[in-house]
Amino acid sequence: MKPSALGFVAIALCIAVARSRGRRSAAIASFGIATLALPVAVYAYFVAKGGAHAVTEIMRADRAYIEETRWVRSAHDLWLISLATFTSFNPFSTLLLGASVERVARAGITRSLAPLRRFALPAATTVAAYVGIAAQLKFYRYHTVLFVGPGVLLALSFASELWASWEISAAKGATILSLVTLASFPLAGANASNWFDETAAVVGLVDGALTHEDFDRRFFAPKLYYDFADSAACGVWLREHTSPDDTIAVRGFEAEIYAIAQRRFTGRFFWTIPLTDPQRTFKRDEWLAEDLATLKASPPRYVVALVDAHAAPEGAQYFLSLGYRQTIVFGRLAVLARPVSDPAQN
């Protein structure tokens, strides 16, 4: 659904047309229908619910978000962050780069372009992945997952060429490739160490050596003000102290609490970062007013506010000033109950 996938869509369209056996118009039409089916269905749902305006508004907000919070502001920034992204996939990225340079050089020496056709799809998808990442101007770590598919395609292309030259079966070649991959992975340094550490934790959780509480505590990022153990405990408490008909409001960037509590918010802003981030200005005043109006019109049974914030819409002190009472605290998350005098509660 994200625009960053458009490069892959274009490649898939080219493949569909190439395989159309002369029926190019039919291939383009059927591909277009198949591609648009899901986005159109999602948009139709929002239209049916009266939310068409909200969809177009969030698209405009996304463009503003990219521009206002961008990490890349110069060619120098782009070079440094691209290099960091490339090296984060070592040793595989360096191995594949070396193999690619060697293959291109060998094709140039032999003046044979035929073998390079094998690498057309991996190369095209790699470019599409980079464009999809760079267009977002942030290079968040999870954005780089776009490189995984093209990387696998490229590795398989090299491997299949090697197996052909060695005259070995695909099964034996796959075994060799798997062993090489496993042997190379520990060389990935911090990435490999993190993976082994987290995998060991999952195994410990499955076999009972690690409790859910201890497992949750592993997901802790102080610089991001994130502690999943607090969010999980807060969500469980809300689920146990509310009924399915009760609504809650979770402030900040802790939307996972809704899922854990199995409760919902009546308004649009189930997180408040777009209303409080100083870098974001798109409709901030209008959205803040809408959020506060929702809180007053449909007061939630409980509000999860931030103890280290004071002002609306996420500060615990703000809700205390409205008559809410603090019930329990999980780290920086304060659970505040709606005033007993509120007619909606009686």
Q: What would the pLDDT profile of 150-178 be if each residue is shown by its tens digit? A: 999 988 888 887 787 788 887 888 888 88
Residue 140 near residue 97, CB atoms below 8 Å: no
Q: What is the pLDDT of residues 220-255, one digit of tens each?
A: 988 888 999 999 999 999 999 999 999 999 999 999
Q: What is the spatial distance between Cα 13 and Cα 164, in angstroms, rounded to a whole number?
A: 29
Q: Examine the pLDDT at 7 and tell me if it is beyond 50.
A: yes
Lowest-confidence region among 50-59, 121-130, 158-167: 158-167
Mean pLDDT of the chain: 89
Strand order in the sheet with 325-330: 248-250, 302-306, 333-337, 325-330
pLDDT at 344 over 60: no
Position 346 scores a pLDDT of 43
The pLDDT of residue 19:
87
Task: Give the pLDDT of residue 177.
Answer: 82
Inter-residue contact 52 to 117 (CB < 8 Å): no
Predicted confidence band at 63 (pLDDT cuts at 50, 70, 90)? confident
State how far the Cα of 18 lies from the Cα of 9, in Å rounded to an integer: 14
Looking at residue 342, its pLDDT comes to 52
Q: Which residue has tokens 């102080």?
A: 222
pTM of full prediction above 0.85: no
Express as a percent the part of the chain with pLDDT over 70. Answer: 97
